[in-house]
Amino acid sequence: MSRLLRGGILLLVAMLCVLLGTGVSHAESPLVERYTAPDGMVITSHSPSWDSQTKLKSLHEELLKNTHGEEIELLDEIVVHDDYPRGKGVAGQYIFQTVGTIIPGTKQKMQPGKIELYGGREHQTVASFAHTLAHEYGHHVTHYYTLQADGYPLTDEKRWSQTSYARMRGLTHDDRIAVEGVDHRWQVAEVAAEDYVQLFGSPLAKAPTPFESRIEQAMRGQEPSAMSWNASMYNVQPQENILLPLASDVPHLYEFFHQRMKGEPGTYTPPKKPELKLVSYAEQANAGYQLKFEWEMPGEKDNYTYTLVTYGENDLLAEPIVTRKAGEAKEARYGSVVVQRGSYLYTYQEPNAKGLRHFKLYSFGDNNWVSESAELTVDMANPTEVKVNEKKVVPVAAAPADETALDVWDIDLMLFDIDLSWLVSLIGWAADFINGVLTALLG
């Protein structure tokens, strides 16, 4: 038996026998309502809070406000669940499959996917689901066009680092990044989905949340208001991973995806990077220091907004300090304050104003595209020095193709004098029949 025939049989056996996939099953609550959109997409609710076709239709309409192309035809369904079947910390997930053969040079093909949204009893409006919906659709887009460009998905544990996206994003040699086995924020597919939201998310997915300075409230003699925030607030956390540069720092990333979705590169004009400075600090009796920041914004437009945030060394979520609009004072205070009220001294200190703190300013412009300042690091116990950290993306050049392996395969085909078209057809049929060589579940 020739080497090629023996290899072909082994390939066929492998194709028929190998099923790769992961899944998280959960008991599904009863169906509450179902809406079928004109494009054939099905929006299904298992939440009593989403009990009308009108609400489900509005969810579909919100999806369409995220930039999309031909890939949307492969999204079959959106499902709203009442609770959190994967745990309180998981707001949704995207489920997709790819099918491929093991014939050299053959690209994997994407199968129809679906989006699941969790916590319908809490998220009772389209606005409350908009950011999660955009993120999950970002998985759909980035997987679809990575498969189209490279022939394998971002979830390929052996080859993800060589995808066009990973090389462009400068992740190829970043040891913190992986497909799984690392924190959620360091999973390559999650980074990609967050990039999609920044570049192509809907206006509602990127709607800002205003925050007033608590130090300024105290200085005016007011009681500092309670403040709450979460990771879905786009102007507080444009991306889950606050340690990586933003999508706006990645050359040609917008054009890469826009070209594939719309057939032309598009025009991407995020704000220039704001210049954040610590201009002064003052000790507030025994309450600690008060820091004063100022910033400059080259080329500011009337629609620009800003959010100053701070976070500690191990924080996963930044804390908002203040939001400003174009034309307002480009300054903010953080730390402690002592003010006199009648015959009493009133002291207020930000709860986390201790130890090393990092500070960053986000600027938002057209389409709520975002840029960020350099990161400033200050010791709240001794703010005499400021460390400035400017994050940069270093793209990685494409690896040369392994032409030797392809040449050997081609030589074998030329030397073997039996028609193998039946084998190729059979393997192709097996690929379509098995449907699911790779299954990925992404939150």
Element of type H or E holding 135? helix 126-150
Give the Cβ contact number of residue 73 at 10 Å.
Answer: 13
Q: Which residue has the higher pLDDT, 438 or 166?
A: 166
- Please give the share of the chain, as a percent, with pLDDT higher than 90: 73
Helix ranges restricted to H, 275-330: none
Q: Is the pLDDT of residue 200 over 80?
A: yes
pLDDT band at 109 (very low <50, low <70, confident <90, very high): confident
3-state SS class at 313: coil
Q: Which of 249-258, 314-323, 363-372, 393-402 has the lowest mean pLDDT?
A: 393-402
Unique residue bearing structure tokens 């080497």: 3
Q: How many helices (H) and strands (E) does the chain have?
A: 9, 16
Q: What's the mean per-residue pLDDT of the chain?
A: 86
Phi and psi torsions of 368, nearest 5°: 55, 30
* Highest mean pLDDT, choosing among 4-18, 220-234, 235-249, 385-399: 235-249
* Structural domains in the chain plus CATH codes: 3-201+406-442 (no CATH), 214-389 (2.60.40.10)
Query: Using one digit for the tens of pLDDT, what is the confidence trace for 71-93?
Result: 999 999 999 999 999 998 899 99
pLDDT band at 57 (very low <50, low <70, confident <90, very high): very high
Q: Which of 4-18, 140-154, 170-184, 397-411 has the lowest mean pLDDT?
A: 4-18
pLDDT band at 433 (very low <50, low <70, confident <90, very high): low
Give the Cβ contact number of residue 184 at 10 Å.
Answer: 14
Q: Is the pLDDT of residue 123 over 60?
A: yes
Q: What is the distance between the alpha carbons of residues 337 and 219, in angstroms, rounded to a whole number?
A: 7
Average pLDDT over residues 62-68: 98
